[in-house]
Amino acid sequence: MMKHRRWICFLTIAVGFLICAQAQQTGSWGDQGDGTYRNPVLNADYPDVDVERVGDTYFMISSKQHMSPGMVILESKDMVNWTTIGHVWDRLSWAPEYNWNEMRGYRFGVWAGDLAYHDGTWYCYQIDSRHGLYMSSATDIRGPWTQPIQMLTNEKIFDDPVVFWDEKEHQAYLLCNTAKKQKRPENTTPGSENRLYKMSWDGREIQDSGKVIYTGPGAEAAKIYNINDTWYIFMAEWFVGDKETPLGRPSKKNDRKQLVLRSQTDSIYGPYEKKVVFERGNGFERSCSQGALMQAPDGSWWYMHQLIQNIGNPFQGRPQCLQPVKWVDGWPMIGKDIDGDGIGEPVRSHEKPINGFPVTAPPTDDEFNPGRLGVQWEWNHNPRDSHWTLAERPGWLRLKADRPVAPVKNYRIHGQLFWRAFNTVSQRIMGTSTGSAVARFDLSGMKAGQRAGFVRFGGIFHLLGVHVEENDTRRLFFMDMNGKELRGDAIHGNDLFIRTTNKGDRAAFEFSTDGERFTRFGPEFTIAFGFWSGDRLGFFCWNESGENGHVDIDYFHYDYDGPKQELKGAEKNGCLNDALR
């Protein structure tokens, strides 16, 4: 009898896990749940990626300019389903403009980086074009990471570092875009120089003045690979057919293509021959380049790349696509040569590189449980840690108000209060078709002069929240990117629910006092890319009168057209407990 009970128990557990496993969401992109995927596989603002495989796991980094913490880290088992595990830099500590009391680092901060694993140590390199080349290291990719050390100043370098340890020669190297900062008259090739430096074996020092490896229009984002004793350097470059249209603007004649340099000797210094291996096509409006080469356990090759922002309104930012790679006569063919010109174009869908792993995605929903803020959240510049907490009211995120920082003279971005408010925390939108996010606020701690609520922002901002007037009346307000304000009715209770939806780049706000009946407030508006960032969803809090008041946020829930793991931690445990009963 006991034996039969065991079998019943195991069967019940299996059925329980099956029910749990089925509670996965798929959508118009990413893992389709049938052994295939649709591009983009990571359909959110994850630009400038690099990927490093260690064991059976792929680790990805992605830049995010002035957002803090900086340089997000994701992991995947199959190159298709990615989830966020942390950041390299808890704070952007190398320059004062990224601090909460200055807030003048828009567009700068963390740019494209390189992730490397060597001799049991993780390394992350990135160039802040204002300040130079920085590196941090860790023995565990989840941290802690060392404080960033400056390896080069910005006088001679511009962006996009990549490193390589040559075990055969016992020499480490760093290649980066030096643009025109060191360009001499004898180099008559148009465009940016990319210079190769010798680096110390511990990855901490540059050892020489470097040597130019390649020059080309907007040439950058290099990645170095040694495959079958042949050196390859992958690089993105602009190919201009429309001189009247600036690069980065929509044009069918301009394309940022992926080229590969292949060494003609066994030396990393070349000489190199080059070939364009990937270009826009197959219905993709956006240029496709800049990414990382990966290999699956079965030996197949794959390429992860971003979609460039060269369309009218790339409101979502720069998502990531996955392409199959085949080697033809010693050259990689990225995607498929659909038009027969010998150059690959991106595929819309394909069989997954690796099967057997569940549909998942970066976390979005948050119940704000005590402990660490969810890894999906990033602050607009370094946060003022004394003015936010998860501990004072367990289960709630509390934002405390104070005056926005003083405007900086001749700094246009500081024209509106929102860009100077240090307590803004946000996360990326997912997808480009539809989305709906809702949050519950408790207004009981708000004081006269305070404003708090929900924000959508990227290159522009739109707010829906509550302003407490001098007579302590709490009044609903909507504010657009120009600071134009629409005032609403008084809010008498403590509960306020705010929901925002978008269909494509058109969005709107709604509010409710009971969480069930929502009313539209404010006009429909356009969300937009800017400061090298796509639209984001988050919360704001400030008080023009001084350090007074707070707002509490109970939860954030987000639904969108794409892969999502529906079950939260407590629900997973409940599902298992039900199966074990």
Q: What is the pLDDT of residue 566?
A: 60
DSSP assignment, residue 374?
Answer: P
Q: Which residues in the chain are classed under CATH 2.115.10.20?
A: 37-350
pTM of the shown model: 0.93
Contact partners, residue 104, CB within 8 Å, separation at least 6: 97, 408, 411, 413, 414
Contact in structure between 28 and 38 (CB atoms under 8 Å): yes
Cα–Cα distance between 361 and 559 in angstroms, integer? 12
Length of the chain measured in residues: 581
Taking only the tens of pLDDT, the chain with its 581 residues reads 333 333 333 333 333 433 344 457 899 999 999 999 999 999 999 999 999 999 999 999 999 999 999 999 999 999 999 999 999 999 999 999 999 999 999 999 999 999 999 999 999 999 999 999 999 999 999 999 999 999 999 999 999 999 999 999 999 999 999 999 999 999 999 999 999 999 999 999 999 999 999 999 999 999 999 999 999 999 999 999 888 888 777 788 899 999 999 999 999 999 999 999 999 999 999 999 999 999 999 999 999 999 999 888 899 999 999 999 999 999 999 999 999 999 999 999 999 999 999 999 999 999 999 888 999 999 999 999 999 999 999 999 999 999 999 999 889 899 999 999 999 999 999 999 999 999 999 999 999 999 999 999 999 999 999 999 999 999 999 999 999 999 999 999 999 999 999 999 999 999 999 999 999 999 999 999 999 999 999 999 999 999 999 999 999 999 999 999 764 544 333 333 333 22
Of 284, 232, 224, 214, nearest in space to 255 by CA = 284
Q: What is the pLDDT of residue 16?
A: 41
Q: What is the pLDDT of residue 23?
A: 56
Q: Is 176 left (phi over 0), alpha (psi -120 to 50) or beta?
A: beta
- What is the number of helices (H) and of strands (E) in the chain? 2, 41
Here the tokens at position 260 are 């590969």
Q: May I ask the CATH class of domain 37-350? A: mainly beta
Q: What is the pLDDT of residue 572?
A: 38
Q: Which residues in the chain are classed under CATH 2.60.120.200?
A: 378-565
Q: What is the pLDDT of residue 19?
A: 38
Around 100, how many Cα atoms within 13 Å sit in the side-chain half-sphere?
21
Cα–Cα distance between 23 and 466 in angstroms, integer? 36
Of 528, 532, 446, nearest in space to 494 by CA = 446
Positions marked active-site:
48, 220
Q: CA-based angle 185:235:278, to the nearest 5? A: 130
Of 464, 444, 462, 445, nearest in space to 454 by CA = 464
Contact in structure between 485 and 477 (CB atoms under 8 Å): yes
Please provide the CATH number assigned to the domain covering 378-565.
2.60.120.200
